[in-house]
């Protein structure tokens, strides 16, 4: 009986922990760049039948995933085969779900705007091109994550997302010229609760700012204090429709090659 009870408790904790973080469904995110930076459009140009696949992970897998991560090398994946890059991306996305550690989001971004985007835009149809395009399609659904009323912004691309939080639904617009220019803006366009919602935003910082608070972040034009947790700038406030967060990254994070 004790063994059964222990198993039920373990399963309950596992399900609870894995359910705490979830990626925002790719179907709830509309990307609207007009060039290859539009990951969904680029993926569909490579293969029109692709559909996004949800990336999932359970806390019971954490040790195995971390072991696999240590055995690999993101720098090597950037110059290795498309299959290695796609697998590394998925591994990073699963670890990000379980740890909320920005190092994995950075690796995801490097792989997306490096070998995966390059392979997906080659002229000839191949297994490598389809694999890369599928990874880009999946990447749309990893741009944002939620954990209760906390919203994680993992990487930056022009997009509009419909989020369903415990306190209500909201429309979040991401407005940026990244990876070409530095300005990033988050606009809370619409809210189910027009009186305001208490939300914590976790905004991924550039790698060099992970251990300090040197990057100015503005809310409605006013510089706003924040704390840093695992590479994210964390800001909690009561937000109303039309409120904006914006900042200028010190330099473009990446250049599409």
Please write the tens of the pLDDT for every residue from 187-246: 999 998 888 999 999 999 887 665 667 889 999 999 999 999 999 999 999 999 999 999
The predicted model gives 145-165 an average pLDDT of 94
CATH architecture of the domain 146-248 equals: Sandwich (2.60)
Strand spans (E) along 137-249: 144-147, 150-153, 159-165, 168-176, 183-191, 197-204, 217-219, 222-223, 227-229, 232-239, 244-248
Whether residue 41 contacts residue 67, with contact meaning beta carbons closer than 8 Å, is answered with no
pLDDT tier at 13 (50, 70, 90 boundaries)? very low
Percent of the chain with pLDDT over 90: 70
pLDDT tier at 6 (50, 70, 90 boundaries)? very low
pLDDT at 249 over 50: yes
Among 32-36, 56-60, 195-199, name the one with the lowest average pLDDT: 32-36
Give the pLDDT of residue 231: 92
More confidently predicted of 252 and 232: 232
pLDDT at 174 over 50: yes
Give the pLDDT of residue 188: 95
- For 104-136, b/e burial (b = at least 16 CB within 10 A) is bbbbbbbbbbbbbbebbbeeeeeebbbbbbbbb
Give the pLDDT of residue 40: 95
Q: What angle do CA 147, 247, 213 make, to 5 degrees?
A: 75
Give the pLDDT of residue 54: 92
More confidently predicted of 1 and 194: 194
The predicted model gives 34-56 an average pLDDT of 93
Whether residue 145 contacts residue 105, with contact meaning beta carbons closer than 8 Å, is answered with no
Give the pLDDT of residue 19: 45
pLDDT at 18 over 90: no
Give the pLDDT of residue 46: 95
Residue-averaged pLDDT of the chain:
86
pLDDT at 70 over 60: yes
Give the pLDDT of residue 75: 73
Give the pLDDT of residue 15: 40
Give the pLDDT of residue 74: 72
Query: Which DSSP category does 19 fall into?
Result: H
More confidently predicted of 3 and 154: 154
The predicted model gives 106-131 an average pLDDT of 94
**What are the start and end residues of each CATH 2.60.420 domain in the chain?**
146-248
């Amino acid at each position: 009986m004790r063994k059964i009870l222990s198993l039920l408790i373990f399963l309950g904790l596992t399900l609870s922990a894995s359910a705490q973080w979830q990626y925002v469904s790719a179907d709830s995110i509309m990307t609207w760049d007009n060039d290859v930076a539009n990951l969904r459009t680029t993926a569909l140009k490579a293969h029109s039948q692709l559909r996004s696949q949800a990336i999932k992970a359970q806390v019971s897998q954490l040790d195995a995933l971390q072991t696999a991560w240590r055995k690999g090398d993101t720098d090597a994946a950037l110059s290795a085969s498309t299959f290695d890059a796609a697998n590394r991306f998925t591994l990073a996305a699963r670890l990000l779900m379980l740890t909320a550690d920005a190092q994995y989001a950075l690796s995801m971004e490097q792989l997306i705007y490096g070998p995966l985007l390059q392979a997906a835009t080659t002229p000839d149809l191949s297994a490598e091109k389809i694999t890369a395009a599928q990874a880009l399609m999946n990447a749309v659904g990893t741009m944002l994550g939620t954990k209760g009323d906390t919203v994680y912004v993992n990487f930056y691309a022009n997009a509009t997302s419909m989020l369903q939080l415990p306190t209500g639904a909201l429309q979040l617009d991401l407005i940026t010229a990244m990876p070409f220019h530095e300005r990033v803006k988050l606009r809370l366009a619409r809210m189910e609760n027009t009186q305001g919602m208490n939300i914590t935003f976790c905004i991924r910082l550039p790698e060099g700012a992970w251990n300090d608070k040197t990057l100015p972040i503005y809310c409605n034009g006013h510089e706003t204090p924040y704390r840093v947790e695992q590479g994210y700038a964390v800001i909690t406030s009561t937000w109303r429709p039309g409120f904006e967060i914006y900042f200028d990254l010190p330099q473009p994070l990446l250049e599409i090659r």
